Amino acid sequence: MQIVLHGALMGIFATLGTDVWAAIVKHVLRLPTANWAMVGRWFAYIPRGIFVHRPVSESAAVPGELAIGWAAHYIVGILYGVSYLVMVGVLFSSKPTLTTALAFGLATLVAPWFIMQPGMGAGFLASRMPRPGLTRLISVSMHAAFGVSLYVAWLLI
């Protein structure tokens, strides 16, 4: 049970760290970041059996989609935090390191690149976005920030 609690706390901290990095990317570097309302809209359509949009911004708005998006963002972060700690601690009988945390954070790119972005109408690896290379680079930086923040959370816990 302690692994689940610590992993959840690490996931929350790492998601917060990612959000801080996203604010820097958006406000300092002036680059686009995730639109959590669109993520919420995509998640809200899944129970209705709609998994793919062309694009999600053209699908009808859903009440509370911004809150749904933020909640999904943190729930996924918590699940990733627990998964990382279980993987490292239980499967490999090891302690988190910066290398494994960063590798795990980058491995989580599979979800947005091959599930979420195609489902939202952005294509695999953001291929339908106006600037796919930039979108990919921003995604890599966000997931790297998540991995680094996972390790920092481990050190703090």
- The pLDDT of residue 14 is 98
The overall average pLDDT reported for the chain is: 96
- The pLDDT of residue 119 is 97
Contact yes or no for 120/137 (Cβ under 8 A)? no
Q: Is residue 144 classed as helix, strand or coil in its secondary structure?
A: helix
- The pLDDT of residue 151 is 98
Question: What is the tens place of the pLDDT at every residue in 95-119?
Answer: 999 999 999 999 999 999 999 999 9
- The model's pTM: 0.95
Overall average pLDDT of the 51-66 stretch: 97
- The pLDDT of residue 25 is 97
Domain chopping of the chain, boundaries: 2-156
150 exposure class (CB count in 10 Å sphere: 0-12, 13-18, 19+): buried
Tell whether omega for the bond before 96 is within 30 degrees of 0, i.e. cis.
no
Query: Does residue 69 carry a pLDDT above 90?
Result: yes
- The pLDDT of residue 4 is 95
Residue 27 to residues 18, 32, 48, 73, 132, Cα–Cα distance (Å): 14, 9, 35, 20, 20
